[in-house]
Amino acid sequence: MSKTNNKRLGRGLSSLIRSDLNTQVEKAPEAAKPPEPARHVVATEASPPPPSTVASALKVATPATSRPPVSELRVDQIRTNPSQPRRTFDPDRLAALAESLRQRGALQPIVVRPIEGGYELVAGERRLRASKLAKLERVPVIVRNVRDDDMLELALIENVQRENLNPVEKARAYRTLIQKHGLSQEEVATRMGEDRSSVANFIRLLGLAERPLEMLGAGELSVGHGKALLAVADPATQTLIAERIVAEGWSVRRTEQAANEVSQPKDEDAAQAKATAQRPAVVEMQDRLTSILGTRVAVKEGRKRHT
């Protein structure tokens, strides 16, 4: 992602997080006590108050002179963010971060919001997980009042800025912003610093069959491979081609060729299939897949037509 795009997204996140290491750390209340209300920066002529919503935060940058108050919380007081779009965390990198935290401590606070009985993570899940792995008792935090509707957007902005999300996680997060938060593709693109077509293409990837989608999320397939596979309507065929991509190292161009051959049968093959007493689509599909993949393929129909 370009520097220009990064400037377009993160104002909402940067209004919550400041990596100013000179900020004083204060003790937060214990879990037995009700959470303190979010502490706000006092407004001055040179330092306006921090935005109260993500929408305004994306338009107004917090001046460098303002310093959000930092507190400390026990790790067991903080619940994870249920809206976190990231599902996969590299165990080796997590272990390396945990070792760094053991040696040097946490240099950047995570962001939390007060909830009934404790606090909920807004941004910084990787650091929180590493803190638990390092068996730290307390971590520095910034406490902010954040609406439920803004939780996913802030977590998504954080991960997009750090390029932490795999294509499937990003696609699902975009879809959630549209379906559950009422944003248009254009609005999602603007807030995330993406082109609208890019957002649309990520969401289209969710139309892949289950196994190719898993392979895409695991990094076995590229986004280009995923787009090429979308041209194949049959889920079983998608899966066969996806496995061949990984086994033989197919390029995106080779994948596109295979997808086109499967989805656009030759005229003579179609004419011959029509004269066949059995299901023509099944026979034709088996023959073409056998030719393309170099191994005998049997296509089994479901109980319902087109399944």
Quote the pLDDT of residue 250: 96
More confident residue, 16 or 236: 236
Provide the pLDDT confidence category of residue 301 given band limits of 50, 70 and 90.
Answer: low
pLDDT of residue 36 exceeding 60, the answer is no
Hey, what are 118's tokens?
């404790």
Quote the pLDDT of residue 287: 76
Q: Which of 11-25, 125-139, 274-288 has the lowest mean pLDDT?
A: 11-25
Please confirm, yes or no, whether 137 is among the known catalytic residues: no
Name the active-site residue from 26, 72, 125, 248: 125
Q: Are 212 and 238 in contact (CB under 8 A)?
A: yes
Quote the pLDDT of residue 302: 60
Mean pLDDT of the chain: 73
Tens digits of residue pLDDT in 129-158: 889 988 988 999 989 888 877 877 777 777
CA gap 122, 111 in Å, rounded: 5
Tens digits of residue pLDDT in 181-230: 788 999 988 888 888 999 999 999 999 999 999 999 999 999 999 999 99
**Mean pLDDT in residue range 5-23:** 44
Residue 215 burial by Cβ neighbours in a 10 Å radius (0-12, 13-18, 19+): buried
| Percent of the residues in the chain that have a pLDDT greater than 90, as a whole number | 24
CA dihedral (86, 92, 98, 100) in degrees, to 10, reads -120
Quote the pLDDT of residue 214: 94
CA distances from 127 to 45, 74, 100, 122, 163 (A): 35, 14, 11, 12, 15
Nearest to 232 by CA among 201, 202, 265: 265
Tens digits of residue pLDDT in 154-181: 777 776 666 667 899 889 888 888 887 7
Provide the pLDDT confidence category of residue 86 given band limits of 50, 70 and 90.
Answer: confident
CA gap 236, 57 in Å, rounded: 46
Residues paired with 118 in a beta bridge = 115
pLDDT of residue 30 exceeding 60, the answer is no
Provide the pLDDT confidence category of residue 48 given band limits of 50, 70 and 90.
Answer: very low
Quote the pLDDT of residue 53: 33
Q: Are 158 and 79 in contact (CB under 8 A)?
A: no
Most confident by average pLDDT, 6-20, 116-130, 291-305: 116-130
